[in-house]
Structure 1
């Protein structure tokens, strides 16, 4: 579990490195294009509607908005925290769409996380702009809608699902990059340094192949309530790694907002446990 946390938390620093040379939409396309050959190793895990939905909502929507924000509008450390708002969003959407019960502690956590996110807009420093906050939240919302799809796929091999979902982003992202990021994405690809390629490969393999493989295995062997709280460590690792490697610092206002969001996430996630306070 700690290896999953380290892989997912350090991802954001690698993303920042890659975005120094590769524009965000092209980065999304390349990140998933290098995973397409792995399809040969996995049989198709489920029907095409689910694969396309996961590929569109999580692989494409989440990362297109997240990478666009991280290019200039949000630091790697704070992005790793704000994107975790997908957890309370998923709880709220599951209640609206599926009628799942929201426990009082979860409701309090959602409200507290929303208050912390509002603080970023009011008292945040130079590490996140209003546009960056909105872009990351839109990516989190796309991830949350994708989670609703995942909740209807019990027993599906999640590693295979996300690798097959990598078929969705490359061509649309390449087309959007051509239209919005400049007329020569292939020239950009040819100029990418080995260090940036290493960052792209690391993001693809650490997040999708390693992270989801271990996460899915753990969830298949242990109760979800024993595993999901560890996700609270991801932004801690993300902020710490960005500080150590990129030299990012957090202002006092951002630190207060981050603690409020983290407290809200803790309540929302731990609120799934029955009979505990």
Structure 2
């Protein structure tokens, strides 16, 4: 019987890439479904409390350090936990009360572009080039196409939802920039686990302050399936796929999964819910992707050259494990393991 290792490298990487895109792309729809039965902040907090505990157990087995030590390492997990897990997911879940998972996935894909803007503003070593500014503007235009602004739409639920999701992408982008200068050498599994646990604590506290109650949870089969998918498939299994693919193909390739996720979310939303996004939303996604392409044109060109030279999918970039990862195909942390300055 032919083992997976005997399959050509390029095909193996393509399978892992596709599974990862399916796992994380489907999570936006799973959130949309689960929110019909569970309050948003509680939903996100309970999800990451369990996922963080599982990933921490995994980190204890596969790494030499499963707990941060020292100021810098704790600061790194605190920043990632608050911004990348808590604020990102809290605002995303709140926003998905008003917009579909497919629309949310499309708006979240602006995160790499926002990261470039924050990095150019905050980090002295990373100034925005003229081309990067054009890419940033294209990203904003893409969001505008999703919202389809008009005088009557400015106060609509869709606009509110898109605004919250866009704020979640901005929180993620800001967190990913703030964590870069912190010299923390934690294994990515450990960083991810503690970020999840800290983020879960912030989300559950936020839920308490917001008046969300456990009594409001409708314990239906749909709610359990949604929670199980988000916690186990999207929150644990997908991270294991990510770690494996990162080692196999390098950072730039693996993080391009973020631009497959909106397509997956659109397809899953149509299959499960019968929801169809309009042509303008698709145009918005393509515009955002074009902005990303401009910003990361050099990395994409180098990646394409690496693939053509290696002939088997190759590797590109440093695959050191120094970034926190979350839904939406984004990573937070050192730029060496980020898709698009994200």
Instruction: Tell me if 1:130 matches 2:159.
Output: yes
Match of 2:282 among 238, 247, 255: 255
The residue that corresponds to 1:111 in the other structure is 137
Whether the 8 Å contact between 1:229 and 1:269 is mirrored in structure 2 is no
Q: Does 1:57 align with 2:86?
A: no
- How much has 1:245 moved relative to structure 2? 1.0
Deviation sequence 1:110-164 (CA, Å, 0-9, x none): 2211111123333588x97111111011100111122225545676432322221
Q: Does 1:68 align with 2:94?
A: yes
- Report the TM-score, using the length of structure 1 for normalisation: 0.85
Q: Alpha carbons of 1:162 and 1:121: their partners in 2 closer, same or farther (altered >3 Å)?
A: same
Q: Quick one: which of 162, 169, 177 aligns to 2:207?
A: 177
* In 1: Cα distance, 2:221 partner to 2:239 partner: 26
Q: Give the aligned partner of residue 237 of structure 1.
A: 264
Residue 87 of structure 1 aligns with which residue? Answer: 112
Partner of 2:229: 202
Aligned match for 2:175, one of 123, 131, 146? 146
Deviation at 1:232, TM superposition (A): 1.4
Q: Which deviates more from structure 2 when the two are superposed, residues 159-168 or residues 210-219? A: 210-219
Structure with greater Cα Rg: 2
What SS does the corresponding residue of 1:118 show, helix, strand or coil?
helix
For residues 69-121 of structure 1, the C-alpha deviation after alignment (integer angstroms, 9 at most, x for no partner) is: 101x2111010110111111112222222222545544332221111112333
What residue number does 2:321 align with?
Answer: none
What is the TM-score with the length of structure 2 in the denominator?
Answer: 0.70
Answer yes or no: is 1:97 the counterpart of 2:122. Answer: yes
Let me know the Cα RMSD of the aligned residues: 2.9
Between 23-32 and 193-202, report the one with greater CA deviation. Answer: 193-202
Cα distance in 2 for partners of 1:113, 1:34 equals 34
Instruction: Name the one with the larger helix percent.
Output: 1
Structure 1's 149 and 25: CA in aligned 2 closer, same or farther, altered over 3 A?
same
Q: Which runs of 5+ in 1 are unaligned?
A: none
CA distance in 2, matches of 1:270, 1:214: 26
Deviations 1:3-58 (A, max 9, x none): 11111101111111110100111111111121243234421256221111111111
Return 5+ residue gaps in structure 2 as ranges.
Answer: 1-16, 60-65, 306-342
Task: Work out the number of aligned pairs and report it.
Answer: 273
Question: Which residue, 269, 273, 280 being the options, matches 1:246?
Answer: 273
CA distance in 1, matches of 2:18, 2:255: 12
